[in-house]
């Protein structure tokens, strides 16, 4: 049975915790700080933020106030779309480190491969950005590098160019939208898989077979969704600033879904994609 302290080994030997605390839409300020402290107190050791979330200061403050050693916390942040390019990515990372009050981050990600501002410059701008990611990695500013929101076409492009291969793919992944082609390719490239929106923003709550499985296992529907991803070796990134939900989302290590129940969720169509199409961003 898994425990919240279980980790996966990235392709460069860095260990990454098997569940993360997401901070999207956690506003910069005391609420975010307290959310980080609550998450860490309840066993989370992986914190996911981004330049775009505008809360890196509070994330860093929450980590500091938690009293946990920096070396025991895995921190992820991301370069935003408007900072794609070599020099701007370097500067963006330095800015994130300053706001987080950290000397390094454990994982640095390209937030979107093909943003609107540089769509006509794809893939050249993506390559420039990745060259900066490699420089940051070699300089020790980041312990691992990866990409978000990539389809198979984007993965093929970056793999043809990269000298240091991406170690992580973070995509929208959940029941009904498992992105099987991209995740299969990423795993073939040796990448770990992370899932944002693992709870589908609650849009599948009350649907079958999810509600029946929750009743059968004596768990919440959110816990069933997270456990499902965990058993597929996918790192879920649930997010909440509410203490009860923060505790609930990590309480998924004392049960295991049977193969037949995993198959039911495999077949569950859900609501499909809820986020943006990476090839047709409006930002």
pLDDT, one tens digit per residue, over 133-173 is 999 999 999 999 999 999 999 999 999 999 999 999 999 99
Question: What is the C-alpha separation between 161 and 170, in angstroms, rounded?
Answer: 19
Confidence class for position 5, pLDDT limits 50, 70, 90: low
Please identify which of the residues 53, 108, 137, 228 carries the catalytic annotation: 53
User: CB-based contacts of 88: which residues, under 8 Å, 6+ apart?
Assistant: 82, 132
- Write the CA distances from 124 to 82, 85, 119, 121, integer angstroms: 15, 9, 10, 6
Q: Nearest Cα to 220, choosing from 241, 239, 201, 206?
A: 206
Confidence class for position 122, pLDDT limits 50, 70, 90: very high
**pLDDT > 70: what percent of the chain?**
98
Contact 250, 2 (CB under 8 A): no
State both tokens at 52: 């775009």
Grouping H, G, I as helix, E, B as strand and the rest as coil, residue 223 is helix
Contact 259, 91 (CB under 8 A): no
Catalytic site includes residue 108: no
Q: Is 191 exposed, middle or buried (0-12, 13-18, 19+ CB in 10 A)?
A: buried
Fold of 9-204+235-242: TIM Barrel (3.20.20)
Q: What is the mean pLDDT of residues 63-68?
A: 97
pTM: 0.97
pLDDT digits (tens, 9 = 90+) for 174-230: 999 999 999 999 999 999 999 999 999 999 999 999 999 999 999 999 999 999 999
Asked if residue 1 has pLDDT above 60, the reply is no
Strand partners of residue 208 = none
Q: What is the mean pLDDT of residues 62-87?
A: 97
pLDDT digits (tens, 9 = 90+) for 233-252: 999 999 999 999 999 999 99
pLDDT score, position 4: 63
Question: What is the C-alpha separation between 93 and 89, in angstroms, rounded?
Answer: 6
String of DSSP letters for 171-217: EE-BTTB--HHHHHHHHHTT-EEEEESTTGGGTTTT-TTHHHHHHHH
pLDDT digits (tens, 9 = 90+) for 262-274: 999 999 999 999 9
Confidence class for position 7, pLDDT limits 50, 70, 90: very high
Strand partners of residue 234 = 193
Helix axes 56-66, 86-100, angle to 10 degrees: 40
Q: Is 201 exposed, middle or buried (0-12, 13-18, 19+ CB in 10 A)?
A: exposed
Residue 119: CA count within 13 A, CB half-sphere: 9
Contact 72, 47 (CB under 8 A): no
Q: What is the mean pLDDT of residues 71-81?
A: 98
Measure the CA angle with vertex 100, ends 236 and 145; round to 5°: 50
**What's the DSSP call for residue 239?**
B
Average pLDDT, the chain: 97
pLDDT digits (tens, 9 = 90+) for 15-37: 999 999 999 999 999 999 999 99
pLDDT score, position 11: 98
pLDDT score, position 2: 61
Rg (CA), the chain: 18
Asked if residue 14 has pLDDT above 90, the reply is yes
């Amino acid at each position: 049975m898994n425990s919240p302290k279980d980790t996966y080994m990235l392709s460069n030997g860095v260990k990454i915790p098997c569940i993360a605390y997401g901070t999207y839409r956690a506003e910069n300020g005391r609420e975010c700080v307290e959310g980080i402290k609550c998450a860490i107190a309840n066993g989370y050791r992986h914190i996911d933020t981004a330049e775009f979330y505008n809360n890196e200061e509070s994330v860093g403050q929450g980590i500091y106030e938690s009293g946990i050693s920096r070396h025991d916390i895995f921190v992820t942040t991301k370069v935003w779309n408007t900072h794609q390019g070599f020099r701007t990515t370097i500067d963006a990372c330095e800015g994130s480190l300053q706001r987080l009050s950290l000397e390094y981050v454990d994982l640095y990600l390209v937030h979107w491969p093909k943003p609107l501002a540089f769509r006509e410059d794809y893939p050249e701008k993506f390559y420039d950005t990745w060259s900066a990611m490699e420089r940051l990695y070699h300089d020790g500013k980041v312990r691992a590098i990866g990409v978000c929101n990539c389809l198979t076409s984007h993965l093929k492009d970056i793999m043809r160019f990269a000298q240091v291969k991406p170690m992580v793919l973070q995509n929208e992944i959940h029941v009904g939208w498992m992105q099987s082609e991209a995740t299969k390719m990423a795993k073939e490239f040796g990448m770990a898989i992370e899932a944002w929106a693992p709870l589908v923003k609650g849009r599948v709550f009350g649907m079958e077979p999810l509600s029946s499985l929750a009743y059968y296992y004596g768990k919440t529907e959110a816990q069933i969704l997270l456990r499902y991803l965990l058993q597929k070796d996918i790192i879920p990134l649930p997010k909440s600033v509410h203490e009860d939900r923060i505790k609930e989302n990590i309480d998924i290590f004392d049960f295991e879904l049977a193969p037949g129940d995993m198959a039911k969720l495999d077949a569950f169509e859900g609501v499909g994609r809820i986020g943006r199409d990476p090839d047709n961003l409006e930002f």
